[in-house]
Structure 1
Amino acid sequence: MIDTNVSRRTFLKTGGALGALAVAGGGAVAADSLFGSGVADAVAAPEEKVTWGHCAINCPGRCALKMHVKDDEIAWVDTHTSPDATFDTPQARACLRGRTYRRWANSPDRISYPMKRVEGTKRGEGKYERISWDEAIDLAASKLKEVIEKHGNEAVYVPYATGVSATTSRPFNRFLNLVGGYLNFYNSYSTAQISCITPYMYGSKNNGGSSLSSGEDAKLILCFGSSPTETRQGGLTTHYDWVHMRERTGAKIYMIEPRFNDSNFGHSEEWLPINPGTDAALVAALGHELIKNGQTDEEFLHTYCVGYDEETMPEAYQGKNMSYKDYIMGTGYDKVEKTPEWAAPITGIPAERIRALADEIATTKPVYVVQGWGPQRRSNGEWTAWAIMALPCLIGQVGLPGTSNGTREARNSPSLSSLPAGTNPVKASIPCFLFTDAIDHGPEMTAKNAGVKNADALKTGIKYMINYAGNCLTNQHSDINKAHEILADESKCEFILGIDTVMCDSMNYSDVVLPDLFRFENDSQIATGSDWGYIITGTPATSPKFERKSAYEMAAMLADKFGVKDQFTEGKTEQEWIRELYDKSREKDAKLPPYEEMQEMGVYTREYPHIVSMQKFREDPAANALTTPSGKIEIFSEKLLKDTEGWELQDGDTLKGMDTLPPLPVYIPEWEGVETTTEEHPLVLSGFHYRGRIHSSWGFIPELKEVNPMEAWINPADAEPRGIKHGDTVHVTNDRGTIELYAKVTPRVVPGTVAVSQGAWWDGDVHAGKDGVDKGGSINTLTTQRPSPLSKGNPQHTNICEVKKA
């Protein structure tokens, strides 16, 4: 029996068979450096081979990995480098995380054999025993057949997961579609709010922002809640574009967010600290000054926009004071004039500073407005994102060189075909963030109260899950203690099949565990990019160790049990699929070289021209109408009102006195935010992305944890009265639980706010619930699982808390 909640290193000392074998296979070329380069002098150096691979985690870098292999073991990890590199010949270089893959691949936490949960133990306890592949597949297939026969295919679910990306990375979806389908999901944990609201304003096509390189032509850059150098460190994507633009532009750069992040370093002129979740209030106050001083671009607003003022309102809504201008000037919904004095106590930005910024915005051209995904991942995130998009429209800075449309920056990439999933016979779909609700009370979820799509309500709850390369069952889901209670109850979800490389916390809720291979242990191919697009083509670095298999092999084994293996594989191996899919891509893109040449070069790069968002629409709005109902930019959305008619709302979902969701980019106070703190929980808690991890990936690597310790950022003004000093161990607590971590006492976070990086591995007592202490410091022990009102998305940054010395 293997207890996965026991320290792996402690377990190895006890002589546990699985761990010992894993180390025996993975430690042959162990070295002392972080990257694992070098071999002990006493060992004769074997011949080295070099293979290309790529990172497959949920980072757009998808960085190139050059694996140096000796004796069928990864000796060290290099990346895309060249002695001829210059500032203008970029390379898809991996960050520190990617270069530690050898430690992940050879970790004692690595899963090496199929396992099943020990009889008599509960999910979450992490107690497993080794079984054969035949038994594992038989169990998984028989339970799937049983659930489908008893509850129907709508009871089967593949949770949102981001642990692996490549052209063949979703084989279980293909398999399930061949046996009747599964419950769909929509949205992502990262972008639900902005992805939902953008089509209401800009339509569903060609609605993205300008490339960051277009910012080189700007004179003023306003960046709301984004830190490209932290969130997207490697490769040729946003990090590279941000630094490249920053070094070339003559623009003044303002970073508007609650934390002085690392992207401020360089040429940023000013950090404009703002209270979390209040960006829409700042935009409203800026709009007030622009309108009052006659500095809005009335010609642009009247030509290209709907809903700015009475003149541009849809006919059915004229004469009702429902325009954005009415809202701003105090004649609209709430009858509150959005002056800088109104916004100052909400945002924490002095009124005079707001006035000065408004004047600078009005008198500087071009203005480039961009936002990250932090401001929208909140309870009011749809309206926050919408408000930031409205700002460049007020001054007509859309569709021109050096401008953007207020959304996130554009990215380019070569297009690669993916393994076809086929057609899903099940049409019902849920917001991915509500999967625990669908387990707990699925038939109570409707289109009106939970955003169910393509059905009025769910017919059944989720009874069977295939969790492939995902840590969103618990660790990356909100309110971990609540998720544990739901997942541990076998009367709700009857069977969970888990597939991964290591035993993350979510894997501890599996009934059967299958050992996965990394993409660099397979043939693989992936495309990504930004101003530079690129494709990485990899071959296996080593042979498969122990009894690990690829996900494609596993899905084919399940398909065989259902008699659909021939339809699943179509007679092709995974490598043959990759080759065929690439050849199809070449038919559409003649610039791509032959597959053999791609394998040889490893990394193929291509430069793309700058994107100026909505340039064609600006040049000729009639010929290039948007896909909104009006064909114009909709600052007021009649469609949103109609789409949400009759929805069941909770307190705090909308403005006071309204019984509908606002059809304008208004400011709505958060349920748990700067205006709703309590005596018991007087501080706002907000998350951020960390250099040491991408979400929870790499969250268990000891060396990365050592150089990136878990810390709660707290301002000296909040730390001093609590007797907290820098480096103290503290508890961050709210009604959902308690986490333990170090205090980082710093003026780099606004007073009244505690900032904790997301993705740390939960480390608590599954039996203690919210009364226990998570010593891993996972912020999701404390985050709310109540979804945002429109997209039903993840509001991870909307929380309140208290901090005390441990």
Structure 2
Amino acid sequence: MTVQISNSGLSRRSFMKWSGVAGGTTALVATAAHLGMPGTAPAYAADGMEGVDSTVWNACTVNCGSRCPLRLQVKDGVVVRVLPDNTGDDADFGNHNILACIRGRTMRQRIYSPDRLKKPMRRVAGTKRGEGEFEEISWETAFDEIAERMKSTIDNYGNDALYINNGTGTTGGNILHRRLLWRFMDAAGGSLQPLRNYSNAAYIVAGTYQHGASIGTNSTEDAANSNLLVMFGANLIETRMSGGGEMYSYQHLKETHGTRIIVIDPRYSETALTIADEWVPIRPGTDTALVAALVNVMVKEGLQDQEFLDKYCVGFDEDTLPDSAEENSSYRAYVEGKGPDGIEKTPEWASDITGIPASRIRALAREIGSTKPCAISSGWGMQRQAAGENQSRAVFTLAAVTGNIGISGGGNGAWPTSYAMPVPNFPDLDKPITVGIPVFKWSDAVDHGEEFTAEKDGVEGAERLVNPIKFMINYAGQCIMNQHADPARITEILQDENKLETLVVIDTHLTPTAKMADYLLPDAMSIEQPDLIKNENSAETGYAIYAQPAIQPPGDAMRVYDMCTEILERVNPEFAQKFTEGKTQEQWVSSLYEQARDDMPELPSEEEFKELGVIRQRNPDGFTIPMKEFRDDPEANPLKTPSGKIEIYSERLAEMSKTWVFPEGLAGQKVTAVPEHIDAWEGALEARESGEFPLQCINHHTKGRTHSTYWEQPWSKEAHPQKVWINPADAEKRGITMDDPVRVKGNRGALDSKAFVTPRIAPGVISVPQGAWYTPNDEGIDEGACASTLASLVSSNIAKGNTQQSIIANIKKLG
């Protein structure tokens, strides 16, 4: 059935321009059980428009990157129905319906979850962090005590002992909330800075050294101009599976252009299943070896783009090495076996490491090397490894060797770029403190931050830290317990109150991280407050959503903007004025949108935008082709590397390799000037040689949740139950069949789950869907099956990023 949203006061031209034609929709009707409320839910019309008090535009803002619009229907102050966008036209690609996926469509269950936080609370005196013993307190008490602890930390240690823990979801597409807590800290004199993020830390650093910055590859839609698309570990069909993500673009690409697609991944992902012509299963952490063998074949058969390498790159050949480099330290020397290790990187050599037959490696090299243009891209899972930086750099190098950089239909080997509407974010303040640590190192900075140095721990802005972290705020994230690593060890660190003195958690639900709090502050959900939300992951169509409160927050829940204001008023009223600039949250939203209209006068008025709910804009420049200007004229448009070129050999990394310090006793802890393959700790080699833990264990995203968000929803659990993927050959050896209860054990912990026996995962590899909530029993076994239970706190070699894909383990049947 076709439904027309209200457009009173809008001209037909304005409405059609920004919203498109109304689309069809299927309503999901609320029941009393779904709402967690007594009584019987009233019957509402199937078209989703009758029998309600209002229909309000807002969005699902979890950290998948899509930010899909939702129409929330309200009756008597209760959200009774969640409807998707109805303003697009599926016949017109780029103006398609921005349909929310199963996650966003279960928003009601998240709103009315029994885990929802409604009162400010304080940990009960005498109990330990993590025991979940809290007492209700007033907001006045919470603000007074938190402000006093914050002032005490500043007085006793300095502002550099304050820290904001990395958050996700709400700090993603929400314009106001994206940098809100950092602005809060900067208004109070600053804090220790978090560097990069949990998603792609090694990838960012790899791009910085190779390309001068973390530059994305050509947009998804530009692959329509490709004759071949090669994806290393990218699974955007599943992680971005809504109308607001790249899934729609890839499906459109396949349906309309038939571009040949090869997916290289340890798991036969939804992307491989849905759009790929071929799946190449590979052992985790061995993409560097595969790329070296591919290049070896290309060089032998003259398939490399030598003209491109000579003109635009440093260090592929000996002739383009910097003067400081030693003989035979080029990447070509490495793959030809002329480097220090003396091993030629043949397909046979790579086959033993990767598990891919040598004949397939040769065929793949010939296909990639002879097909122009060829779009090469990489996902982020492959770089969450001990040597993750080299994983990304290797794929970047393959794109350079084939000469596909800076051209339509090609790519530089990175993550696809997308167009975003130029709507400004809540502005940052000047940063009084510029010293920072990698986000994954926060737990070490709590435990022994006074020992942190630049060359050992990746400190930036100073040679070393002065203080450990003493006061921390975690906002809208699970990057303390659930999405970090080794939660058993994190519990030990946080329960020592001589280390971290204050932990404030601001969230909407009682998560495993929330249970660690000293002060637990209930935030309003995004659907309960105003904001501007923009999408940044839908290829060449950018859009923005005017989010309006659909209902009041439950109980005493409060908007975080108001919490920050109240705390700063108590620390120093001047800080609060600096933070708010005298504006309410509503006034900031209006102000930021008016700034956008100053730059784009054709945007509708704010009142029109409120009624439209969502506005779209196609990229006015057409397809995004990063590094095109560099390719067109490298002299006039140099990269931000020291040489101004693509540095396959990095002189900076060569120098770092001489001075950086690594933990003892772990394999593969080193920095290399070219993207060598490194047999790192808990990698493919160690798994095959280990008697106790012979399997590599990775983790993958699942359709039922985004990281740990939506984990508690009954519908999500029913549709996508937590199960460990295992290859039939590995299952047979262990007597495991489908749905058997199993225990996965590694070097740091163990979890219980059920088995999913499938040929869709490479032999020797198991995969635990990530994001399940950490739920240890009395024996320390995680009954929630959180993948991070098995992960190490040892960071990657250069970025000091998280390494959740570097795990060796074993699995056995229970009972």
Please indicate the TM-score interval, normalised by the length of the shorter structure.
over 0.9
Matches within 5 A, 1:250-289: 250-289=258-297
| 1:183 counterpart = 2:196 | no
Match of 2:544 in 1: 535
Match of 2:73 in 1: 68
Match of 1:24 in 2: none
Q: Using the alignment, how far apart are the partners of 1:628 and 1:172 within structure 2?
A: 32
Q: 1:131-179, CA deviations, whole angstroms, 9 ceiling, x for partnerless residues? A: 1111111111111111111111111111001031312114332222222
Contact 1:62 1:235 in 2 (8 A): no
Q: 1:193-215, CA deviations, whole angstroms, 9 ceiling, x for partnerless residues? A: 0100112111227x320011111
Q: CA deviation at 1:497?
A: 1.0
Determine which of 440, 457, 470 is the counterpart of 2:447. 440
Bigger mean CA offset, 92-101 vs 416-425: 416-425
Contact 2:668 2:680 in 1 (8 A): no
Match of 2:7 in 1: none
Match of 2:346 in 1: 339
TM norm structure 1: 0.92
Q: Using the alignment, how far apart are the partners of 1:427 and 1:213 within structure 2?
A: 38
Bigger mean CA offset, 74-83 vs 361-370: 74-83
Q: Using the alignment, how far apart are the partners of 1:757 and 1:672 within structure 2?
A: 19
Q: 1:260-307, CA deviations, whole angstroms, 9 ceiling, x for partnerless residues? A: 011123442111111111011001001111111122111111111110
Q: Using the alignment, how far apart are the partners of 2:678 and 2:535 within structure 1?
A: 36
Determine which of 569, 594, 603 is the counterpart of 1:560. 569
Matches within 5 A, 1:209-358: 209-317=217-325, 320-358=327-365
Q: Using the alignment, how far apart are the partners of 2:614 and 2:555 within structure 1?
A: 30
| 1:661 counterpart = 2:691 | no
Bigger mean CA offset, 168-177 vs 188-197: 168-177
Contact 1:218 1:250 in 2 (8 A): no
Match of 1:174 in 2: 183
Contact 1:65 1:78 in 2 (8 A): yes
Matches within 5 A, 1:669-708: 669-677=679-687, 678-708=690-720
Match of 2:627 in 1: 614
| 1:408 counterpart = 2:415 | yes
Q: CA deviation at 1:31?
A: 4.1
Give the AA of the match of 1:743: A
Match of 1:493 in 2: 500
Q: Using the alignment, how far apart are the partners of 1:271 and 1:188 within structure 2?
A: 29
Q: Using the alignment, how far apart are the partners of 1:47 and 1:750 within structure 2?
A: 51
Match of 1:754 in 2: 766
Match of 1:18 in 2: none
Q: Using the alignment, how far apart are the partners of 2:668 and 2:115 within structure 1?
A: 49
Matches within 5 A, 1:547-626: 547-562=556-571, 563-564=573-574, 565-608=576-619, 609-626=622-639
Give the AA of the match of 2:683: G
Q: Using the alignment, how far apart are the partners of 1:569 and 1:248 within structure 2?
A: 49
| 1:128 counterpart = 2:139 | no
Q: CA deviation at 1:316?
A: 2.8
434 and 175 in structure 1: CA distance in 2 versus 1, 3 angstrom threshold: same
**Uncovered stretches (5+) of structure 2, i.e. residues with no partner:** 1-28
Bigger mean CA offset, 358-367 vs 79-88: 79-88
Determine which of 152, 157, 166 is the counterpart of 2:163. 157
Determine which of 203, 206, 211 is the counterpart of 1:202. 211
Q: CA deviation at 1:32?
A: 5.7
Contact 1:463 1:495 in 2 (8 A): yes
627 and 750 in structure 1: CA distance in 2 versus 1, 3 angstrom threshold: same
Contact 1:64 1:235 in 2 (8 A): no
Q: 1:307-356, CA deviations, whole angstroms, 9 ceiling, x for partnerless residues? A: 011111112326x1110110000001311100011001100011111111
Determine which of 638, 647, 660 is the counterpart of 1:647. 660
Match of 1:101 in 2: 107
Q: CA deviation at 1:499?
A: 0.8
Determine which of 490, 493, 514 is the counterpart of 1:507. 514
| 1:737 counterpart = 2:749 | yes
Q: Secondary structure at the match of 2:80?
A: strand
| 1:763 counterpart = 2:772 | no
Contact 2:100 2:244 in 1 (8 A): no
323 and 794 in structure 1: CA distance in 2 versus 1, 3 angstrom threshold: same
616 and 782 in structure 1: CA distance in 2 versus 1, 3 angstrom threshold: same
684 and 610 in structure 1: CA distance in 2 versus 1, 3 angstrom threshold: same
Bigger mean CA offset, 520-529 vs 191-200: 520-529
Bigger mean CA offset, 727-736 vs 229-238: 229-238
Q: Using the alignment, how far apart are the partners of 1:247 and 1:352 within structure 2?
A: 30
Q: 1:426-472, CA deviations, whole angstroms, 9 ceiling, x for partnerless residues? A: 22211100101011001011111100111111111111111111111
Matches within 5 A, 1:353-364: 353-364=360-371
Contact 2:747 2:808 in 1 (8 A): no
| 1:90 counterpart = 2:96 | yes
| 1:80 counterpart = 2:85 | yes
Contact 2:263 2:279 in 1 (8 A): yes
Give the AA of the match of 2:633: D
Q: Secondary structure at the match of 2:505?
A: strand
Q: Using the alignment, how far apart are the partners of 1:29 and 1:222 within structure 2?
A: 43
Match of 2:24 in 1: none
Match of 1:12 in 2: none
Match of 1:40 in 2: 41
| 1:368 counterpart = 2:381 | no
Match of 1:21 in 2: none
Contact 1:654 1:662 in 2 (8 A): no
33 and 567 in structure 1: CA distance in 2 versus 1, 3 angstrom threshold: closer
| 1:59 counterpart = 2:64 | yes
Q: Secondary structure at the match of 1:492?
A: coil
Give the AA of the match of 2:477: G
Q: Using the alignment, how far apart are the partners of 2:384 and 2:36 within structure 1?
A: 34
Percent identity at matched positions?
A: 40
Q: 1:689-717, CA deviations, whole angstroms, 9 ceiling, x for partnerless residues? A: 11111110011112211211111100111
Give the AA of the match of 1:341: E
Contact 1:247 1:267 in 2 (8 A): no
Match of 1:4 in 2: none
Q: CA deviation at 1:544?
A: 3.0
| 1:193 counterpart = 2:197 | no
Q: CA deviation at 1:35?
A: 13
Contact 1:433 1:792 in 2 (8 A): yes
Bigger mean CA offset, 588-597 vs 118-127: 588-597
Match of 1:449 in 2: 456
Contact 1:34 1:100 in 2 (8 A): no
Q: Using the alignment, how far apart are the partners of 2:364 and 2:387 within structure 1?
A: 24
80 and 652 in structure 1: CA distance in 2 versus 1, 3 angstrom threshold: farther
Contact 1:35 1:76 in 2 (8 A): no
TM norm structure 2: 0.91
| 1:634 counterpart = 2:647 | yes
515 and 445 in structure 1: CA distance in 2 versus 1, 3 angstrom threshold: same
Q: CA deviation at 1:48?
A: 2.2
Give the AA of the match of 1:668: I
Q: CA deviation at 1:228?
A: 0.8
Q: Using the alignment, how far apart are the partners of 1:130 and 1:661 within structure 2?
A: 50
Q: CA deviation at 1:642?
A: 3.3
